[in-house]
Structures are given as C-alpha cells and as structure tokens.
C-alpha cells in the first residue's frame, strides 16, 4: 500500500472503553498508517451500533460515542492528519446504504456469517432488519471515500468481500463510480485470549470480564489482572499456543506492546518463572494505556470542545462523501436538482 492510498476503517461505540484487543489488533495500526502518510479516514460507526437492541440505550450510546472519539484522539489519531468523524454526522452513509441494499440479493445478505451468528444469539424476535442490512451500510462507509484499503480483523473479511462485490456490481450496471477496496488484514496480529480462560477469546461477553483488559482501566487493576492470569504448571516460558495458551497469550501481549515478535521474547525468560514475565507484561501495558486513559479523561472534561472537533471532522468527511454520493445518485438515474 503506497503512502497516498486512501484508507478507511470504523469502530463501533459499543463499550465504555476500547479493550486490549481493539487497541493492539486494530487501533494502533490506524495510527501507524496515519503516521506513515496514508490518507486516512476513520469513523466511530454509531449507526452500526444500534443494530442490536441491547445497544439502543440513548444515554449509553451518547456517552460511548464521546468516549470512543476521545480515546481515538488520545491514541494519536490526529484530526488534522486524518479525517476522524462520527458516522451519523454524515448522512451520505445512510443514503448510499439504501442504494446498495437495493443491489444486494436477499440470499446474498443471508449468507453473511456474522449476521447468522448474531441473529442466532438474539433470536428472531429480537433481530432487527438493521442487523441484516449492516454489511451494506459498511460497504457504503467504505465506498463513499473511494477507499483503496481497509484495515480490518479477520472476522470482517466476508463483509469486505461483499463490499468489493457491490462496488463491482454497481460499476458494471451503472458505470464506473466506485473504487474496489482491498482488505488490509493484519496477519501478524496475534489473537488475544481471555486471561482467566486462555482457550476463549478476550471479550466482555466472555465470563465476568476478569479476563480482559480495557484501555481506560485503572493501572492497579490492569496489573492485578495480568498478575492473576491463568498459566500452567510447566514453569518454563515457551511460545506454544496449544500446550501453553496462557503463557503464549502473555508473550503475545508483551510482543504487541513492545513491537517485538512474541517468539523472540522467550529467550529473555530463560531460567525465569512466570512472575517475571507477568511483571513485564503489566508494566508494558500500563505504560501504553495510562497516558491514553489520562488524556481521554481530560478530553471528556470539555465535551463542548470535543463536539467542536467532531463537527470539524464531520465537515471534512462530508466534503469527501458528498460528491461521491452525487455521482452514485446520478449513475442510478435519480434526477439532480441542484
Ligand atoms: N463492522 C466493523 C466491525 O465490527 C466496523 C465497521 C463498520 C467497519 N464500518 C466499517 C470497519 C468500515 C471497516 C470499514 O469491526
């Protein structure tokens, strides 16, 4: 990916803090791409957040949108270098999503595995139609910015494939309008597992939350959780996800926090026990997250200023999205009046 390439990515405001996996798996790379000179557009995708009924509490959504935006700023997403905006501030997303829904097959949408998983969990009566059309909204996010590359996790690969198909379909039916985006899947990114249950994914839905770490957690709590992480009885630090998933997870976290390959860290712990490793992991994570948490709290103390920054981001995003939507509307034959 060359430096002038347009990059788009989004994250949902569905938690009171981003977690360790969000940060090391995605958001840190957002910053790296920005700093490498890519033309980055990043969004807090609040329209996506309301596809699930349990995320429709208005006060909660409002708070989480502010806290998500503040965290992205605090992590070093620079609103001068990148376009950083909240999805609902740019109405073109919902407008283009409609058009894309109209060129998506019902069966095609029904094959999205994330829809099948989530609707299975919610049950038919609690599955919204918005959850079904979520991937077309995501495609709209991407296509509106004529995006070249989309950094996403492996779990989003199928949605990206749909976005590519919809771009190609639109272009061949209505004329060249959209760039066909490429996924940028961080292969090197380790999967982080639950500290208390190292065979399961680290997530707030798993267990009590005692096995996960959030960016905004208190440093003492971060340290405590890492020190009480489940390991094994071997007492020797090796990197083996199969037989030592807990230790491998700690090495993965340390690798992510220190920009080193986790396997290469093993040598540092020869003749040392798990205690030394845990101390280093805790220190590295606290060093990474504490400044972000402090800065986030400062930004949240002045919500009016934060909202002004959002407004500026929205303005910049709209300047990019508006002409693309116009092209798409004209291509399908809608009569322009301006
Ligand atoms: N679906 C993505 C996720 O849950 C979030 C998202 C929405 C997104 N729109 C996007 C990611 C556009 C990349 C590009 O992770």
pLDDT one-digit tens code per residue, 256-311: 999 999 999 999 999 999 999 999 999 999 999 999 999 999 999 999 999 999 99
Question: Residue 95: its pLDDT value, please?
Answer: 98
pLDDT at 154: 87
Residue 55 CA, ligand 1 centroid: distance in Å: 16
* Distance linking the first and last C-alpha atoms of the chain: 37
201 given a catalytic annotation: yes
| Per-residue model confidence (pLDDT) at position 185 | 86
pLDDT value for 44: 99
Find out whether the beta carbon of 8 lies less than 6 Å from any atom of ligand 1: yes
The pTM score is: 0.95
Rounded to whole angstroms, how far apart are CA atoms 131 and 133? 6
Spatial distance between the Cα atoms of 73 and 77, rounded to a whole number of angstroms: 5
> Does ligand 1 come within 6 angstroms of the Cβ of 142?
yes
The count of C-alpha atoms lying within 13 angstroms of the C-alpha of 175, restricted to the half-sphere facing its C-beta, is 7
Residues contacting residue 15 through CB under 8 Å, at least 6 positions apart: 64, 204, 214
Pocket test for ligand 1, best of 7, 11, 26, 117 (most atoms within 8 A of CB): 11
Identify whether the C-beta of residue 204 lies closer than 8 Å to the C-beta of residue 192: no
Is 204 among the residues known to form the active site? Answer: yes
Burial status of residue 243 (CB atoms within 10 A of its CB: 0-12, 13-18, 19 or more) = exposed
What is the pLDDT, as a whole number, of residue 11?
Answer: 98
Q: CB of 9 closer than 6 A to ligand 1?
A: yes
User: Cα(44) to centroid of ligand 1, in Å?
Assistant: 9
Q: Which two tokens stand for residue 7?
A: 């990059």
Low-confidence stretches of the chain (pLDDT < 50) are none
Q: Give the SS3 label for residue 40.
A: strand
Element (H, E) at 322: helix 303-332
pLDDT value at residue 153: 87
Q: What is the mean pLDDT of the chain?
A: 94
Question: Quick check: helix, strand or coil at residue 39?
Answer: strand
Task: Give the position, in ligand 1's atom list, of the atom nearest the Cα of 147.
Answer: 14
């Amino acid at each position: 990916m060359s430096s002038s390439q347009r990059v788009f990515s989004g994250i949902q405001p569905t938690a009171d803090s981003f977690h360790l996996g969000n940060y090391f798996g995605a958001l840190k790379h957002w910053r790296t791409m920005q700093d490498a000179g890519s033309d980055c557009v990043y969004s807090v995708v609040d329209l996506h957040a309301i596809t699930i009924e349990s995320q429709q509490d208005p006060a909660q959504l409002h708070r989480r949108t502010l806290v998500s935006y503040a965290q992205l700023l605090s992590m070093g997403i620079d609103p001068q270098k990148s376009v950083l905006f909240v999805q609902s501030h740019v109405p073109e997303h919902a407008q283009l999503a409609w058009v894309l829904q109209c060129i998506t097959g019902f069966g095609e949408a029904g094959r999205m595995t994330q829809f099948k998983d989530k609707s299975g969990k919610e049950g038919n009566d609690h599955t919204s139609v918005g959850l079904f059309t979520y991937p077309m909204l995501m495609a709209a996010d991407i296509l509106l910015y004529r995006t070249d590359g989309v950094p996403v996790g492996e779990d989003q690969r199928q949605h990206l494939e749909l976005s590519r198909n919809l771009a190609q379909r639109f272009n061949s039916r209505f004329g060249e309008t959209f760039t066909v985006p490429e996924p940028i899947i961080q292969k090197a990114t380790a999967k982080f597992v639950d500290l208390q249950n190292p065979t399961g994914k680290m997530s707030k839905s798993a267990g009590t939350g005692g096995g996960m770490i959030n960016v905004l957690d208190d440093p003492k709590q971060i340290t405590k959780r890492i020190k009480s992480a489940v390991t094994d009885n071997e007492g020797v630090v090796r990197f083996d996800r199969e037989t030592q998933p807990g230790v491998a997870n700690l090495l993965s976290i340390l690798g992510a926090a220190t920009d080193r390959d986790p396997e290469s860290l093993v040598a540092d712990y020869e003749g040392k026990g798990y205690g030394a490793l845990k101390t280093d992991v805790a220190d590295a994570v606290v060093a990474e997250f504490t400044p972000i948490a402090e800065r986030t709290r400062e930004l949240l103390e002045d919500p009016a200023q934060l909202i002004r920054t959002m407004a500026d981001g929205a303005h910049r995003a709209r300047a990019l999205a508006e002409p693309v939507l116009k092209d798409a509307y004209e291509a399908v034959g809608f009569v322009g009046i301006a």
